[in-house]
Structure formats: structure tokens, C-alpha cells
Amino acid sequence: MMLSGRTIIITGAGRGLGYELAFGCAAQGAKIIIADIDLDAAINTVSALKEQGTEAYAYHVDLADPQSIAALAESVKNDHAAVHGLINNGAIATGIGGIAFEDIPLDSFDLVQRVNVRGTWLMVCAFAPLLRACGSGRIVNVASDTALWGAPNLLSYVASKGAVMAMTRSLARELGPDNVGVTVVAPGILTTKSTDYVPAARHELYGNGRAVPGPQSPQDITGTVAFLVSESALTLTGQTLPVNNGFVFN
């Protein structure tokens, strides 16, 4: 129970990978705070967590809206004694692929950066005081291995996740003196509903190209992320971990 006594906030945990991350951290004893643009989905996740005996709470947040992020941080600060971990999982990942770089609508490109990059930065800004105050704060940014190998026809997403990796290195140096660790996980294609739209050829590329062949489920990476928000993970600060069963190596 390496997260016993620790409170972890996870964005975008109403469904998909974030949902599994919530249960993975809960299994290690954490109190869970879910923040999602879909409050009903967040409440459903919290209900499922409570059914298994986990203390959990749901909040609304729109990562594209700085005021919404600030309001979330203020509510969490008022409602909870401490926050020990932040998992920046919320992002735009669907409906933006299969488009050549010349054909990406400007508004779409800007929205992806606003949510995936600026939203991650603003979440760190908003929760840094709480993470510093606890003495062992940990941040895990969820990126993608597409930014490591350069997936085609997915430029806005790849650019956003590459930015998150670069931003993490800088944050690790700025927050390190306060004993706050910042890491990145970079999964490949996982077997979730959010990847149903991905062409079969891309799924096959991953399945055949992994050092451990075959599909990869979200549950495969939850233990790694749970460790990264534990007290023991500080030595990994600044690192990008490709949690993709060996599709790419970093």
C-alpha cells in the first residue's frame, strides 16, 4: 500500500485510462480526487471507487479555461487537508488524427495545444502550492510515445505531447528544490474505447512492433503510474518513461 495516506488528484478520470489510473492508485491505498469536464462521468467513477471502499471525490474542470482550473484548485484546497500527487491525464486525443499536417484546421490545432499543453501547465501552477506544502509532492504528466517516434497524420497531438515532455524537464528543475518530483509516462496505443477510431493498421504496427508483442491494456501501466506518485519515485524526476511494452525505447 505504497500510497496509503496520500491524496491523489487525476484529471480526465471519468473514463478510459484515467478511470483505470484512479483504480490503480486506489488499490495502493490513496484517497482519490477526480476532476473531469464531464462531471457526471467523474461522479460515476467516484461511486465505483466508493463501492470498493476508497475515499473519493468528484469535481468539474475545463482544462481549456484558466478560471475553471483556478476554481478547482481553490475548492480542493478548501475541502482537503493535503494533496500529495497530481496526475495530468486529461487531454484531447480523439477526433484529431488521420489528417495531413497541411490540412489541420487552425482552430483545432490551437485547441489541442490549449488543453493538452497549457492546461497541463496551469494545473501544475494551480496545485504547486499544495504539492510543495506536503513535503513529498509528485506530478505525473501523461504524454504519448507518438512524440518519441513521430507518428504521421497526428501532428497537433504529437506536438502537444512533445511539449509536455519538454515542459516536464524544466518543471522538474524548478520544483526539485521543494522535493516535488515531476515525471512523464508515454504509453502507446492502449485498448480503450478512445482508441477504437485508430486504423487497424496502426494497432497492428504497435502489436507487432512491441518487444512484448500484442495489445496493451490500460491496466498494464497503472502500477507504474501509482509508483511515480509515491514518495519513493523522486529519483526519477524529469524522466520520460515509455510505458509501451517496448515499442520504442527512450
Domain with residue 29: its CATH number is 3.40.50.720
User: Is 40 a domain residue?
Assistant: yes
**What is the reported pLDDT for 46?**
98
Q: What's the number of domains the chain is made of?
A: 1
**What is the reported pLDDT for 44?**
98
**What is the reported pLDDT for 193?**
65
**What is the reported pLDDT for 214?**
80
User: Is 250 a domain residue?
Assistant: no
Q: Kindly give the pairing relationship between strand 7-11 and strand 31-36.
A: parallel
Domain span holding position 93? 7-241
Distances (CA, A) of 13 to 36, 60, 94, 119, 241: 6, 11, 15, 15, 20
**What is the reported pLDDT for 42?**
98
CA–CA distance, 250 with 38 (Å, rounded to integer): 34
User: Is 248 a domain residue?
Assistant: no
User: Is 73 a domain residue?
Assistant: yes
What pTM does this model have? 0.95
User: Is 1 a domain residue?
Assistant: no
Write down how long the chain is: 250
Tell me: the pLDDT tens digits for 80-125?
999 999 999 999 998 899 999 999 999 999 999 999 999 999 999 9
CA–CA distance, 237 with 37 (Å, rounded to integer): 28
- Candidates 133, 67, 119, 70; CA nearest to 90 is 119
User: Is 246 a domain residue?
Assistant: no
User: Is 247 a domain residue?
Assistant: no
User: Is 106 a domain residue?
Assistant: yes
Tell me: the pLDDT tens digits for 215-230?
888 899 999 999 999 9
Q: Any idea what DSSP says for residue 114? A: I
Q: Which residues of the chain have pLDDT under 70?
A: 193-197, 199
CA–CA distance, 191 with 157 (Å, rounded to integer): 18
